Structure 1
């Protein structure tokens, strides 16, 4: 399965590059009889539209059909990371500066492990976040203390 995923990743990366996109994640899951191939694409300059997903699908689907996947039938799903996308790198935090995010820390910061606030900046490998509820509280969270983070939908 690892070889299939590597081959699929190479082709997906090639198509993504042609379309000025990045591959966010590739998953192959399901039963022995039917698999789901999920390719999550990202646009570093904008959010991914349904049209972009459809165009990517039209480009990779013929290639997938030519492959002799050992699992036979499969469903192909092309999607975006979503509005509540995970934030996985320093670059993600820089890209989404000013956006609302939820941060879960490995170790407590000021007696807490969970923060919801606006990404202010990255400074010396620390994330500075302004708490949504008070807008006066700034928290500094070391990047390597972040267990997980994702954007939140701001209403």
Structure 2
């Protein structure tokens, strides 16, 4: 199944590049005797819309049908990372500067293991977060972050 996933990833990356998109993630798993292929696409200069998901889906589906890579029935799901997308690297923090994020820490910083605030600045490997409640600016070393995601700012 890994070989199939690699072939799908290779073609998906080419399609995404042609559409000015990138592949965020690909999952291929069996659920109750049926395969589920989920491809999450992203856009570096904004957010992915329904039309882009639909167009990408048609192109990857045509490839999958032509190559007959998956020998059983499967469900294809093409989506975006969403508004509450995970932040997976320092470049995501740079990209989403000014946005609200929820950060789960590996160890306490100023007696907190969870910080919810705005990404204000990136200094080397440190992320400066202005707390949503209170406005205090915390310096968070990137290596102390267990996981993080954007939050809806209502």
Question: Does TM, normalized by the shorter one, top 0.5?
Answer: yes
Q: TM-score, normalised by structure 1?
A: 0.96
Distance 1:70 1:58, change over 3 A: closer
Gaps of 5+ in 2: none
Gaps of 5+ in 1: none
Give the secondary structure class of the aligned counterpart of 1:101.
strand
Q: 1:149 maps to which residue?
A: 148
Cα displacement (A) at 1:131: 0.2
Cα displacement string for residues 120-152 of structure 1 (whole angstroms, at most 9, x for unaligned residues) = 0110210000000112x0001100111000000
Aligned residue pairs, count = 154
Q: 2:97 maps to which residue?
A: 97
Contact 1:35 1:71 in 2 (8 A): no
Cα displacement (A) at 1:65: 1.3
Structure 1 residues 1-155: aligned runs within 5 Å: 1-31=1-31, 33-135=33-135, 137-155=136-154
CA RMSD of aligned residues (A): 1.1
Cα displacement string for residues 6-58 of structure 1 (whole angstroms, at most 9, x for unaligned residues) = 00000000000100111000001123731110000000001000011001011
What is the CA–CA distance in structure 2 between the aligned matches of 1:70 and 1:91, rounded to whole Å?
A: 34
Contact 2:23 2:39 in 1 (8 A): yes
Distance 1:69 1:31, change over 3 A: farther
Higher deviation after alignment, 113-122 or 69-78: 69-78
Give the secondary structure class of the aligned counterpart of 2:58.
helix
What is the CA–CA distance in structure 1 between the aligned matches of 2:101 and 2:31, rounded to whole Å?
A: 35
Q: TM-score, normalised by structure 2?
A: 0.96
What is the CA–CA distance in structure 2 between the aligned matches of 1:70 and 1:96, rounded to whole Å?
A: 37
What is the CA–CA distance in structure 1 between the aligned matches of 2:115 and 2:143, rounded to whole Å?
A: 15
